Structure 1
């Protein structure tokens, strides 16, 4: 049995009911007492789009002139769309999230409540066909896929098994992994990193991304994922399940008090999009994307200092600079 409590974290009360991590993660994230139902994410962690307008400017630069609507999937507080409202005049903007429309959101931004069911691998309120019919789409999934709950598995003596967790964050080995998950692990974890002993099975994330890409390509559009992730030769040996709460990294405990997250297998995502009919148009770290076309600094010294600080934070290795940008879709004719 293993505890992921970090040094300095207080003991956590909780039921000693053992469940596979994905089931516990689903409840901790989405139940009436879960993180996304009871917490304001901005009080626990920050995303790259909250650092300033530079990410939105880089996104806007990737939007072809033919696009009629930008849809932000997992829009959260809609900060990205609020920036894009000024950068893309004449383009319809739609936020999609399981949460209600944020108060005070720019009236130029539409809103649709929907979420992806990772167990059934489908959207629960209509999916992309229901979100917009405003023309050629450009979909954005910014730091969304890493929050989708997925199975956490461990390997012992060459056999993969589910990792079970109780309400305090203690773990134990569970049942053997099913055939579909074993096949996914063989394709995306074992081949590049045979020494891996723990992983997250991203099949549901691949499925979610494929739905978005297929819809975009069918309408001559594109889809952009920006997220924390890894490639086959860089898989984390101990997996990547983390938790954030109150501004710092915390123990991954499925009690709804922290945001649970795990990095994305980026190459699996690339394959899922290509199998959905897309071409891969961009695959780079954020440090390269933002570093290649830095925005001119404002003329006033204070504004220039703020811009340099934002640029440094967004391109720093070990932080937001390590985000992957994956753009897939139809090429412009």
Structure 2
């Protein structure tokens, strides 16, 4: 079985990892659950998009791969009341709707056909199933996997479309080198941009670019907060980092107006998460405010840590508006 088929069954098949309603926060650390300040930053981005669109009477807020729905809930809590009342929030998720999700949030398995507003895809693309190719003495071969135990074996050469993607985005140099064919992720992201009539879409994920592809790939399993072998039997999350530069080109071809590829560290700094410690003088003037500011600084530091969550890639693409200036902290 190819890795793409095995991942599809393990994650989204009957009783698959996500189909049965597993919560990401129970298995790995996410920005959403690290701090509500992540949602507060996205609320600021939403306000910038709203301004660029001229404050429409209806503003879509779409969370693709919504998990528990916590990100949408936190964003709605963070925006001003006059903006909140114009937002149409949609959670796109195959898992069952959690009981705690407010009724105003539309819970569905596919995005709306037409979107005006903000689309957030936080740690979604890394779970879009893909095939793995390894360079052998006989040329590149698609890697086959046994879903029961993760044992691998060489398969046929990649199909022409995958070979074209490989040559463009992940050329292999030495026997034993591996690539994860991101073509399904490019198609998934392009389908988002095609739906975006006006506004901004952002994909947030562990990622790499053409200059820094890992020679042996990134397939990883997560279960109960620990890294485990990536065995596609449905018992764990199976993920691989995202070639966001390839997705950016797919988005451009799908009609994106403007593109910015940056890191979470830089994006969140632009959105107001500096991680700066409060002045010590505040501890004497207002101890409670000092403690609150110190906690906020610690949360900001985790979200922007260049060796952790801050290293996530942010792919921002727009339709009909420029990339908001707040996303350029060094401008």
- TM bin, normalised by shorter chain, reads 0.7 to 0.9
Residue of structure 2 in register with 1:103 after alignment:
99
| Contact 2:19-2:94 at 8 Å conserved across structures | no
Q: Classify the secondary structure of the residue corresponding to 2:156.
A: strand
**In terms of mean alpha carbon deviation, does 232-241 or 275-284 score higher?**
275-284
Quick one: which of 136, 144, 152 aligns to 1:171?
152
Structure 2: distance between partners of 1:40 and 1:58:
23
2:67 is the counterpart of 1:76 = yes
Partners of 1:128 and 1:212 within 8 A in 2: no
CA RMSD, Structure 1 to Structure 2 (Å): 2.1
Structure 1 contact 230–266 (Cα < 8 Å) conserved:
yes
Comparing 28-37 with 301-310, greater Cα deviation is found at 301-310
Structure 2 unaligned residues grouped into runs of 5+: 279-286, 323-331
> Which residue of 2 is the match for residue 313 of structure 1?
302
Unaligned 5+ segments in structure 1 are: 1-18, 115-126
1:141 maps to: 121
Question: Which residue of 127, 130, 136 maps to 1:156?
Answer: 136
SS of equivalent to 2:246: helix
Give the C-alpha shift of residue 93 in structure 1: 1.0
For residue 294 of structure 1, what is the aligned residue in structure 2?
Answer: 273
Structure-2 change in CA distance of 1:70 and 1:159 (3 Å): same
Superposed displacement of residue 29, structure 1: 0.9
The corresponding residue for 2:112 is 128
Contact 2:41-2:273 at 8 Å conserved across structures: no
Which digits, 9 at most, give the CA deviation of each residue in 1:13-41, with x for residues without a partner?
Answer: xxxxxx21111111111222321133333
**2:307 paired with 1:328:** no
How many pairs align? 295
CA distance in 1, matches of 2:132, 2:188: 18
Three-state SS of the structure 2 residue aligned to 1:226 is strand
Which of residues 242, 248, 253 is equivalent to 1:275?
253
1:38-49 correspondence runs (5 A): 38=20, 39-49=22-32
- Structure 1 residue 158: Cα displacement: 6.7
Report the 3-state secondary structure (helix = DSSP H, G, I; strand = E; otherwise coil) of the residue aligned with 1:236: coil
Aligned equivalent of 1:33, options 4, 10, 15? 15
4+ residue stretches of structure 1 with deviation over 4 A? 295-299
Provide Cα deviations, 1:142-184, integer angstroms capped at 9, x if missing partner. 1100011110111113721111111111211111111100000
SS in 1 for 2:165: helix
Aligned partners of 1:71, 1:291: CA distance in 2, in Å? 23
